[in-house]
Amino acid sequence: MIVDSLDLKALPPGRHHFWLNLLPNVMGGRTQVPVMVLKGKERGPVIGLTSAVHGNELNGIPVIGEIFDKIQPENLKGTILAVPVMNIRGFMQNHRMFENQGTTQGKADLNRLMSGSLKGEVEEAEFYAKALTDKIVKQCDYIFDLHGLGFMGKMKSYIIADGKHPIAWKMAQACRPEYICETSDMQRIGNLRSEGVKMGIPTVTFEIGGSPHAFEYKEIEKAKHGLLNAFFTMGWTKTNLADLKLISSKTKVIGSYAGNHTHNDGGLVELKTKLGDVVAKGQLIGHLRDVFWQPIKTLYAKEPGEVIAVASNPVKAPGGGVIYVSEPKREIAHDINHGANSSERVSGGVG
C-alpha cells in the first residue's frame, strides 16, 4: 500500500507494510521509503526502529524483520514503527551516502542532516531528511537507530547513548551490549540520535557489526536478542522473548575511541592484532608493506585499550583506518536471571 502519511491510531492491531511517499523525484513521481508497523493489542508508546540511514550498513534490516516475526500483537503494549531502509538512494546505489540529484553538492551524509530544519541553500538531501523527521521521527516516543561501522570491516557491536539522559541510558543498558559508548548529545548537530534527544525522544544508536555491504549473522542474532530484552525491560512486551545466553552478562562503558591510521603512507596492512585484543600505547599492531611485500613502516598503537574494530580490507590509501581502540571506564553487571541491569561498578582497568 502506498500512503502519503501514517495514521497509527487508525490502524487495527497486527502487522502492516507501507510505501510512504516522502518527496517528489526527478521523474515527477514520488520518492518512497518502506515502513513496517506492528501494533499491539494493548495501548502504549510508539517505538521506532530505523535502519540504513547509511545505505551500505545492512545488518539492521534483518534485525527489524526478525523482531517483527518474533513479537506477536498479543504480547506488545504499544506500536513498533520501523523503517528498514531510511536512505533509499544510498541503498539502491550500494553506497553509504545520499546522492543529491540535479544539484551541486553531490553526495551527502544523511545522518548529519536529521535536525528537520531547512536553512540556507537547501539541496535534495535536506528536503529528504526533513520529510523523514516530520513523517517518521516525530511520531516516535523512543528510537533505536540501527547502524554498523560501514567503513572498517570487523567491529565489536556497541551502543552509543547519552550518559546524562536517564531513559536513553536505560534503553542502552537493557540491550546488554558488550560495549556502550557514553556521550553527551546536546552539543551534537544533525545525527538522528542527538536530534531525537533534543526533540524529547529518547534515542540510541546501535552499531551492529562493521562490514559494509554484508549481513553478519552472529551480530544480527545478538542485536535481535538485545532489542527483545530491551522491549521487555522497558515494559513494552509482556514476556521476555530474548535468549539471554546470546547477549552479554556485563557491559563495558567506553568513551571516545582512538583510530590508528596509515597517515601519509599507503600500501598493504599486515595486521598483528585482532578484534578484542588489549593493547598498550606504543605496542606493535602491524606492518605496512608495498606490493613487492617490502616494508614501508611499522604501525604502533596510538593509545591503550581494547581493540573494538579492525580493517578487513588490507589495501589502504593514505589516511586509511587500521584499528580502533578504546579503554573501558567502568563495567555494568547484568542480572542474568531477569535480563535487566542490576548494578554498575567501576572496572579495575582494561580487560
Q: What is the pLDDT of residues 302-335, one digit of tens each?
A: 999 999 999 888 999 999 999 999 999 999 999 7
Range of the domain at 319: 258-326
**Grid cell locating 231:** 522491549
Is there a single domain that holds both residue 304 and residue 185? no
Whether residue 212 sits in one domain with residue 66 = yes
* CA pair distance 205, 203, nearest whole angstrom: 7
**Residue 332 within any structural domain of the chain:** no
Spatial separation of the C-alpha atoms in residues 132 and 199, rounded to whole Å: 14
Rounded to an integer, what distance in angstroms lies between the CA atom of residue 157 and that of residue 152? 13
pLDDT at 210 over 80: yes
Whether residues 14 and 36 share a domain: the answer is: yes
The 8-class DSSP code of residue 76 comes to B
Examine the domain organization and report whether 150 and 295 are in the same domain. Answer: no
pTM equals 0.91
Asked whether residue 338 is domain-assigned, the answer is no
The number of folded domains in the chain is: 2
* Mean per-residue pLDDT, 17-36: 94
Confidence of residue 347 (pLDDT cuts 50, 70, 90): very low
